[in-house]
């Protein structure tokens, strides 16, 4: 008798748009702990393509990046049923960013799950 092949469940994904580096590192830590998720990064120029490809449960960006085109980012998040998380990165340490992001990412993951 053969054992059926198990099909792995798709891994949860968070997309970080635009950085900065401290935000990317904080999201990587928080996403791993809050949702066992991996992250993908995108620049403004390819954000729509990266988000459409990976269908994340959350899109994270700084307030500065969000201000660049807030209506389009909100529409992009709605299109893929993702939570849009905006973070004030001015004068924030990676540890502070991580503490801020962890509950938000956990909630976004549960909402999508």
- CATH at 37: 3.40.50.10490
Full residue range of the structural domain in which residue 17 is found: 13-112
Residue 103 lies in a domain: yes
- Tell me the pTM: 0.90
The length of the chain is 113
Q: Please give the tally of structural domains in the chain.
A: 1
Per residue in 9-61, pLDDT (tens digit) is: 568 999 999 989 999 999 999 999 999 999 999 999 999 999 999 999 999 99
Residue 1 lies in a domain: no
Distance CA 14, CA 23 (A): 12
Backbone angles phi, psi at 42, to 5 degrees: -140, 150
Residue 73 lies in a domain: yes
């Amino acid at each position: 008798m053969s054992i059926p092949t198990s099909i792995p469940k798709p891994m949860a994904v968070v997309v970080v748009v635009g950085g900065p580096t401290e935000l990317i590192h904080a999201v990587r830590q928080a996403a791993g702990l809050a949702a066992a998720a991996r992250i993908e990064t995108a620049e403004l120029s390819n954000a729509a393509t990266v988000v459409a490809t990976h269908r994340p449960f959350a899109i994270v960006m700084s307030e500065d990046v969000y201000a660049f085109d807030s209506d389009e980012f909100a529409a992009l998040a709605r299109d893929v049923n993702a939570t849009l998380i905006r973070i004030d990165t001015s004068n924030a340490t990676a540890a502070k960013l991580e503490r801020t992001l962890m509950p938000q990412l956990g909630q976004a993951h549960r909402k999508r799950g």
